[in-house]
Amino acid sequence: MAEISRHKSLKPVMACLSSGKGGVGKTSLTVNLAFALAQKGLRVLVVDGDLGLANVDVLLGLQVKTTIQDVLDRDADPLEVVVYLEPRLGVLPASSGVPDLANLGPEDHQQLGSILQPIAQHFDFILVDTAAGIGASVLWFNTFVDYNILVLTPDPTAMTDAYALIKVLSRDYHRKTFHLLLNQVKSEQEARQVYEHLARVASHFLNLNLEYLGSVPQDASVSKGVRHQKPFIKVAPQSKAALAIFSQAERLRGWAAQKLPRKTVGEAGG
């Protein structure tokens, strides 16, 4: 574990997985992508951005003692709060059932930013799993990161909620690029259709071009992984869903290779 903190990454990539609608598999995809990236040799940090109703720890069966809340409230050392699942994979856990944290104000977000920035330097890739909905913290995390990934399933409510989030982020927070990740699809063809439809609507009404990140098919191994509190890419590495995750992780690794110049905390919106 000490190996991680010795090497500082100058420009870690930060990406946010959001959905608008809850229950589309955001946390599961975040965790599996993180394991896949770590397997490819990157140092990865998963930030549980659902600050009031955390569930990354539940999904992984972690025994969490300290959380982001301890850093915010008691000045706990953020690096001490990070739980390492593997030598190259850390999780910054959040608290569950803490309404205060779900309603942070601009000043709290600024503090959160100043906490995340120094931790981020110890990793190559930061994946934030945000809460569902379009609350202030979801919007803030999405403006803080470099890449916005929208997770959705092919049902109309998930599409509408993803669209609503894209609309708010583009018009109010000037985000221009969104990567769509389709989950629980019957086929790649279905995923493409949903993407193309949403892209057409976004182009027409918002004058935005949406990017297609990929799709994860419906797969029994996913629910098996959740039941065992283990990532499905570990439980069933040859499953269709796991292979899809590895392929998307490869794309994310490409982002890390580009090493985009990082924004400073002061530039983050909120």
Partner 1 sequence: MQNPLCSLTACPFGAEECPICAEVQRLQGECERLRELSHTDALTGLFNRRYLMAALDQERERTRRTGLPTSLIMVDLDHFKRVNDSYGHQAGDEALKWASQVWRKNLRRIDILCRYGGEEFAVILPGTRLTAAVRAAKRLQNSLEKSPVTLLGRNVLLTASFGVDTYLHTEELTVRAFIKRTDRYLLEAKIKGRNQVCCRKPEKARQTMEVTIDERAALYGGSTLPEQGAAPKK
CB nearer to partner 1: give 120 or 138: 138
Q: Are the C-beta atoms of residues 148 and 118 closer than 8 Å to each other?
A: no
CB nearer to partner 1: give 186 or 200: 200
Q: Which residues bind partner 1 (CB under 8 A)?
A: 104-107, 134, 136, 156, 159-160, 163-164, 167-168, 171-172, 197-198, 200-201, 203-207
Give the nearest distance from C-beta 65 to partner 1 in angstroms.
29
Give the nearest distance from C-beta 81 to partner 1 in angstroms.
25
Give the nearest distance from C-beta 197 to partner 1 in angstroms.
8
Give the nearest distance from C-beta 14 to partner 1 in angstroms.
22
Q: Are the C-beta atoms of residues 14 and 147 closer than 8 Å to each other?
A: yes
Structure tokens at 71: 């850093």
CB nearer to partner 1: give 167 or 253: 167
User: From edge to edge, which strands make up the β-sheet containing 210-217?
Assistant: 83-86, 89-92, 44-49, 125-130, 13-18, 147-152, 178-185, 210-217
In degrees rounded to 5, what are phi and psi of residue 19?
-145, -20
Give the nearest distance from C-beta 15 to partner 1 in angstroms.
22
Structure tokens at 51: 């600050």
CB nearer to partner 1: give 39 or 160: 160
Structure tokens at 213: 């990140």
CB nearer to partner 1: give 173 or 246: 173
CB nearer to partner 1: give 197 or 251: 197
Give the nearest distance from C-beta 254 to partner 1 in angstroms.
26
Q: Are the C-beta atoms of residues 122 and 9 closer than 8 Å to each other?
A: yes
